[in-house]
Amino acid sequence: MSKLFTEFQIKNLQVKNRIVMAPMCMYSADLEGYANDFHMIHYATRAVGGVGLIILEATGVENRGRITDHDLGIWKEEHIEGLKKVVEACKSYGAKVGIQLAHAGRKSEVIAEPSIAPSAIPFSDSYRVPMEMTKEDIASVITAFKEAARRADQAGFDVIELHGAHGYLISEFLSPLTNQRTDEYGGSPENRIRFLKEILREVGQVWPKEKPLLVRVSAKDYGDGGNHELIMAEMLQSLKIEGIDLVDVSSGGVIPTQNMKIYPGYQVKCAETVRSFTALPVIAGGLITSPLMAEEILQNDRADFVFLGRELLRNPYWPLQAAKELREEIPWPVQYVRGK
C-alpha cells in the first residue's frame, strides 16, 4: 500500500492521507477581510479532489498584519461566520481544515496602516521603513494571535498554523538578519524565539488541547549570517515544550536574495533535518508535482506529510490522479465515478 494514502493521527485528529494543501494567498477578500464565495469554491474543490488537510491562506490577526488589503482577516468576531462556511464546505467532502494565523510585519502593504517589525529595517527599497515595535506593541500582537486562535476554534477549524516563515513578523523575530534588537527579544537564539514562545503560551490558553497546533518556519534565510536548518531545528527543539505538534518546513522570504537554488524537492532536506533533530512530525514540500516523488519522501521517512501549492492550483484533483499512478484504490466523489 502506498504511504501517501495512509492515515495519520495527530492528537485527536485523523487525516485520511498525507497530502496537504499549502496556504497560498488568494488576494480575494474584500477590504475588511471577509471570506466570500470564491474562498468556499476554491477550498471545497480541493476537498472534493481528495486533499487530506487543507490549510487556508495567511489570515491577518490584525488589519495591519495583512500582507495586502485583500487578504483574509480574523481580527474581529464578524469574520467567524464566513470562515465557518468555508470550513463546513470542506469538511462535508472529507477534508480536515486548518488556517494559517499570520502577521505580515514589515512586509505588510496595507497602506492605511503603519508597518511594524522587531527592528526598523525595510524589506527592500520598495518597502516602507517599519516602526520598531515597543514592548506594548509586542504584547498587543501576542494578544491578537491569542484572540485569532479563539475565533479559529469557534469557526470549527481542526488545526491552526502559526506563520513563522517567509520573512513575516514571527519570522522577522527569529532571524538575526531582521532582528537587531538589544533587549530580551533580540540577540541570541534564545531571545529571538521569545516572541514565538509567548505567542504559543497565550494561544495554548484558548486553543483546545485535543486539537493540533502547527508552526510554519523558514529553515533557511539564504543570506550570510542568517538562519539555516540546523539553527532552526535547535530553536524548534527549545519550543517543543510549548505545544508544537507538527512543523511545516519551508524556506526563504526573509530577505531579497538570488542565492536560492529552486528545484523539485529543494526544501525536503530541511524538513528531514528538523524531523531528525526534534523528533517532531513535519510537512515537506517545494515544487513537488510527482506522486512518485511524494511517495519516496514518505517511504524514506524524510517527512510525515507532503505539501503541494502551485500543483493544486493547476490540478485540484491531483490526489485522484496520484492514486491512479500509484495503483491505489481510493473512493472517488460519487458524482465523478464515471470519470474514473
Beta bridge partners of 218: 250
Distance (Å, whole) CA 60 – CA 100 = 9
Beta bridge partners of 247: 215, 282
Q: What is the DSSP letter of 286?
A: S
For residue 40, give the 3-state DSSP assignment.
Answer: helix
Task: State which H helix or E strand residue 294 sits in.
Answer: helix 291-299
Is this structure's pTM higher than 0.85? yes
pLDDT digits (tens, 9 = 90+) for 286-313: 999 999 999 999 999 999 999 999 999 9
What pLDDT is recorded for position 1?
A: 83
CA-based end-to-end distance of the chain: 20
8 Å CB contact between 64 and 116:
yes
What pLDDT is recorded for position 257?
A: 80
Helices (H), 204-280: 229-239, 268-278
8 Å CB contact between 214 and 244:
yes
Q: Which three cell numbers stand for residue 328?
A: 491505489
Q: Which three cell numbers stand for residue 5?
A: 494514502
pLDDT digits (tens, 9 = 90+) for 182-215: 999 999 999 999 999 999 999 999 999 999 999 9
245 Cβ contact partners less than 8 Å away, ≥ 6 residues apart: 10, 11, 212, 213, 214, 280, 281
What's the mean pLDDT in 33-46?
Answer: 98
Task: State which H helix or E strand residue 191 sits in.
Answer: helix 189-192
Distance (Å, whole) CA 235 – CA 227 = 10
Query: What domains appear along the chain, each with residue ranges and CATH number?
Result: 3-339 (3.20.20.70)
Query: How far from 85 is each of 36, 62, 97, 253, CA to CA, in Å?
Result: 9, 21, 12, 31
> The dihedral of CA 313, 316, 321, 322: what is its sign?
positive
What's the mean pLDDT in 216-221?
Answer: 97
Does 123 have pLDDT greater than 80?
yes
Beta bridge partners of 327: none
What pLDDT is recorded for position 260?
A: 84
151 Cβ contact partners less than 8 Å away, ≥ 6 residues apart: 74, 77, 79, 80, 83
Other residues' Cβ atoms within 10 Å of the Cβ of residue 124: 9
139 phi/psi in degrees, rounded to 5: -60, -40
pLDDT digits (tens, 9 = 90+) for 99-118: 999 999 999 999 999 999 99
Distance (Å, whole) CA 223 – CA 231 = 14
Distance (Å, whole) CA 87 – CA 46 = 12
Confidence class of residue 63 from pLDDT cuts 50, 70 and 90?
very high
Comparison of pLDDT for 125 and 258, the residue scoring more: 125
Identify residue 215 by its one-letter amino acid code.
V
Does 235 have pLDDT greater than 90?
yes
What pLDDT is recorded for position 244?
A: 98
Does 245 have pLDDT greater than 80?
yes
In the numeric block, the cell 495591519 is attached to: 64
What pLDDT is recorded for position 259?
A: 78
Does 258 have pLDDT greater than 80?
no
